[in-house]
A and B are shown apart, each in its own frame.
Chain A
Amino acid sequence: MSKKTIKLPISANSLILVIVMLLITVIFTAINPNFLTAANMVNILVASVQIGLTSIGITFLMMTGGTDLSAGAVASACAVFVAWGLQNTPLNWVVLVLLAMVMAAVAGTLNGLMVTKLNLVPFIATLVSQTVWKGVGYLLCNGKPLVLSDKGLSLFCKGRLFGVPYTVYLMFVFFIIFGYILAKTKFGRSIFAIGGNAEAARLAGINSTRIKILCYIMTSVFAALAGIILAGRMNSANPASNANIHFDAITAANLGGVSMVGGVGSISSVVLGVLLVQAFNSGLNMIGVSQYWQYVARGVLLFGSLAIDFYRQRARMKRLLADSMKNL
C-alpha cells in the first residue's frame, strides 16, 4: 500500500451533510435574506428540539433494525394527556409529565412485545399502535385542542438562558449522554451487534429481546418528551400536531448514516441530520412553499437519503470484492 489515505477529522458522510447544509443555506438566503440571521438560527434550533429528541430514540431503534411509525401518535397522546391532567386533576405539571413518560413507556413496551414475542414486522406492529394512540389522544380531548397554561411547564418549555431555550440545552445534553451510551457501553455495543447480525448476536450471548424492547421504550419516551415540549411552547396540546415527528426523525437518522437495516450509525452524525432536516423544513416555510408541497418535499428528501444509503452499501460491497480479488 503506497497510497496514503488522508484521515479526515469527520466522516465522509458528515462532510457531505455539512456541504448540503451550506448549500441549502445559500439557496434559502438568496430567496429570503432573513434565513441567515441569528434570530432565525435560534428559531431553527428551537424547532429542531422535536426532531432532535425523537431522533435519539429512533436512532437506537433503527440501529437494531427496527422502526416505529407510532412515535408521533404517542407523542400527541402524551401531550394531550398532560394538558388534560392540568385541567382536570390537581396534579403538579412535573407529576403529570412523569406519568406521561410512564404512559409512553407502556406504549413502547407494547410495541416491543409485538415485535419480539409475536414476531410482527416492526412496520405493521407500530402501524397498529399508531392508530390506537391516535384514538387515545382524540378521546382525551374530545377532538379539540386543549389549552395548556401552566406557569411551571411554560417556563420549562420557553425559558431561555443566554437567549437560547433550556430545551435546546436539554437536547444537546441528551445527545452527549446517549452518544456515549451508544458508543461506549454494553447496551450500545449490543445494539450494534443485533443490527449487524441478530443471529450471531444471540449466539454471542446477547439478549436481543430485552434490548429491542428497551429501544422501543426509548423511542416512545423521547417522542413523548418532544410532544410535551411542543405543546408547552404552543400553549396548546393538539392531538394532530406531532403526526409526522417520526418521519422527520427517521429522515434525520438516515441522513446521519443510520442504515434502515441496522448495524451502523453514530449520534454525532445524526445531530447533523437533525439540523439539516429542520433547516430544510424551516427554509421551505420561509420562502413561502405551501404546506402541501412541503409534504412532497419531505418525501423527496427521505427518498434521496435512502438512495444515497443504497449506493453507499453497493459501493462498499464492490470495494470489498475488489479487495478480496487483489489479496487472495
Chain B
Amino acid sequence: MENKIEFRGITKYFPGVKALDNISFTANGGEVLALMGENGAGKSTLLKILNGDYQQTSGEYLINGESCHFSSPSEAVAAGVGVIYQERQVMLQLTAGENIFLGRLPTGAFGHIKTKEIHEKAQKIIDEFGLNMKSTDKVKDLSIAYQQMVEIMKAYSRENLKMIAFDEPTASLSDTEIASLFRIIRKLKAEGKVVIYVSHRMGEIRQIADRVAIFKDGCFVGDSKVEDITDAELIRKMVGRDLGDVFSSLDRNKTIGDVVLEARNVQSPFLKPTSFYVRAGEVLGFSGLVGAGRTELVRAITGVDRMTGGEVFLEGKPLVCKSPHDAIAKGVVMVPEDRKLQGIIPRLSVGSNISVGSLDKLSGFLGHIDLKAERKMGEEGKRNFNIKTPDLEKAIVELSGGNQQKTIVARWMASKPKVLILDEPTKGIDVGAKAEFYSMICQFAKEGIAVILISSEMSEVIGLSDRIIVMKGRKISGEISAMEATEEKLLTMAMMEEHTNV
C-alpha cells in the first residue's frame, strides 16, 4: 500500500508570531521529500505539529486519507509517524534493543521484561540495516551516528510505520556515516514509506531527495522535482525577494578605524583555538553551518561560557570576562541567538527589558533606580528603533517577534557599547522588520561600533559585512572580503574539509 500525507491549510500561531501560514501540500510514499527554507521558515514547526508536539491553530493533515490529530508525541508514534531530531532522543543507559522497543517492551505474566525476545527481534532489525553493532550494546557506548540509527530503528520497528521525518540529521555525522544513513533512507523509500528530509545542505538534497518543498516565512512557496530546479532558483524561492535591492540601498558610507576587539587562540570546551579581530565601524560577518562554533566563539569571549585558553584584547588591553556582567561593563554586548530563551524577560515590561542591561548605570546609592532616567532610556529606545508598542508598560511577550528583537537591540544600544555582537538577529522575524534591522546595523557601524554579525542567511552576511569569516567544525575555516564573497564560496568554505583562503 502506498503511504501518503496530505497537509491542508495548516496554520500555527505562537504568541507574537505566525509560524505557519496556510500550509498545503502532499508528501507521497516511495519518495524522499526535502523541506527547504531559511531558519525560521517553519519547517521544524511543521514537523512538531506532525509528531504531536504542537497543535495547529487551524487546518488538518491526513495520513493515507484519514484525518489525524495527535495531542502528544506518543500518539503520533503509535500511529506510525516517526520524527528523528538532531538532538538524540535515546536513553543512554539502556541497550540498543531496549531503546528500539522502548514503550512497548514485551513482558511476561508478572510484568517482567522478556529480554531475550527483545534482543532477538532487535538484532534482526540491526542485521537488516546492515549495521556493525549488537542489540545488547549500551547506547552510551555507540557513536553519535549509531545512536541516531537506533532512533531510526526504533521508528522502523513499528509494523505500522508510515512516515519518517529527519530534521537536519547529518549535522554531526562524518561522510561515511552520512553514506550509511542515506543507504537506510533509500531502503525506507523502497519500502514505500513517506520520507521527509529537512536540511540546509544543497549537496545532500541533490543526492537523496526526489522532490523539494520550499518554505519561506511560514508559507509554502511551491515544490519541484529536484532535477528540475537549479540551486540559484531554489535559493531565490527560499529567500523569495530580491534582497539585492534591500542591500544595495543601504547607506554604507563610513570610516573603518582601529582594531577594537582581538581574540587570540580563544578556546572553550565547545571551541577549538580561534583568532580574529574586528575594527571600529566594521561589520564582521560570521558564516557557517549551524553548529560550526560561531555562537560558541562569542559566548566564550563574552564570559557566557568559560574560556579554557587564549586571550582577548579590547582596545589593546586584556579583557577577562568571568561572567557576561564583566563583558557588558567593558562595552562588549551580545544579542543572543535564541530570543525567547536567552533574550526577553517575558513578564517584564518593554521599558524594563530595555533598562535591564544598564541597571548599574541607572541605579544610584543604595541601589534605587532612577525611574526618570529609565523612562527616558525606554522612550529613546522605542523611538530610535521604531518599536511598535502602545506604551512602555506593555509586557514584552505581547509584542511581535520583530519588535521583541528590536527591544533587545535597544537594550544593548542603550548601554553604549564598543562591540555589538548580533547572533542570528533576524531569525524568525518578518521581512519588513528584517529590512529595518539591516539599516540599523549599518547605522551602528557608522557610529563607530565594531559589529560582529553571525547569521545563517548568507545573503545577509554578504550584504551587510565588510569582511566575512567562515567557521566549520568549531574553528575558522577561512576568511573572505565581502566584495569577493558569493553564496557558493561561503557554502564551499563552510562545508569543505580544510579550506585555506588565498
Tell me, yes or no, whether B329 is within 8 Å of chain A by CB: yes
Interface-centre pick from B17, B324, B356, B367 (highest chain A CB count, 10 A)? B356
The count of chain B contact residues (Cβ–Cβ below 8 Å) is 41
Instruction: Give chain A residues whose Cβ lies under 8 Å from the Cβ of B366.
Output: 185
In the bound complex, CA of A328 to CA of B366 (Å)? 44
Instruction: Known contacts A184-B369, A205-B329; decide if A200 and B345 are in contact (CB<8 Å).
Output: yes
Cβ-neighbour of A186 out of B57, B323, B341, B363 (below 8 A): B363
Tell me, yes or no, whether B352 is within 8 Å of chain A by CB: yes
Tell me, yes or no, whether B411 is within 8 Å of chain A by CB: yes
Minimal Cβ-Cβ distance residue in B for A262: B347
Instruction: Give chain A residues whose Cβ lies under 8 Å from the Cβ of B16.
Output: 320, 324
In the bound complex, CA of A320 to CA of B336 (Å)? 24
Cβ-neighbour of B352 out of A189, A197, A202, A205 (below 8 A): A189
User: Interface 1/0s, chain A 184-215, versus B by CB < 8 A?
Assistant: 11110110110011011111111100000000
Instruction: Give chain B residues whose Cβ lies under 8 Å from the Cβ of A190.
Output: 359
A interface majority secondary structure? helix
Chain A interface residues toward B at CB < 8 A: 184-187, 189-190, 192-193, 196-197, 199-207, 263-264, 317, 320-321, 323-325, 327-328
Minimal Cβ-Cβ distance residue in A for B18: A328
Contact across chains for A197 and B363 when beta carbons are under 8 A apart: no
Instruction: Give chain B residues whose Cβ lies under 8 Å from the Cβ of A185.
Output: 363, 366-369
In the bound complex, CA of A299 to CA of B278 (Å)? 60
Tell me, yes or no, whether B221 is within 8 Å of chain A by CB: no
CB distance from A13 to the nearest CB of B (A): 14
Minimal Cβ-Cβ distance residue in A for B11: A325
Instruction: Give chain B residues whose Cβ lies under 8 Å from the Cβ of A199.
Output: 341-342
Contact across chains for B369 and A203 when beta carbons are under 8 A apart: no
In the bound complex, CA of A200 to CA of B408 (Å)? 10
Minimal Cβ-Cβ distance residue in A for B325: A205
Instruction: Give chain A residues whose Cβ lies under 8 Å from the Cβ of B346.
Output: 196-197, 263
Cβ-neighbour of A192 out of B18, B325, B348 (below 8 A): B348
CB distance from A191 to the nearest CB of B (A): 11
Instruction: Give chain B residues whose Cβ lies under 8 Å from the Cβ of A204.
Output: 324, 328, 345, 356-357, 411
CB distance from B200 to the nearest CB of A (A): 26
Cβ-neighbour of A328 out of B17, B341, B352, B397 (below 8 A): B17
In the bound complex, CA of A263 to CA of B346 (Å)? 9
Contact across chains for B344 and A200 when beta carbons are under 8 A apart: yes
Contact across chains for B363 and A320 when beta carbons are under 8 A apart: no
Instruction: Give chain B residues whose Cβ lies under 8 Å from the Cβ of A264.
Output: 347
Instruction: Give chain B residues whose Cβ lies under 8 Å from the Cβ of A202.
Output: 304, 323-324
In the bound complex, CA of A189 to CA of B356 (Å)? 8
Contact across chains for A328 and B400 when beta carbons are under 8 A apart: yes
In the bound complex, CA of A148 to CA of B362 (Å)? 48
Tell me, yes or no, whether B448 is within 8 Å of chain A by CB: no
Minimal Cβ-Cβ distance residue in A for B15: A320
Other A-B pairs, 7, CB within 8 Å; known A189-B355, A203-B334, A205-B328:
A185-B366, A192-B347, A197-B341, A197-B345, A199-B342, A200-B343, A205-B360
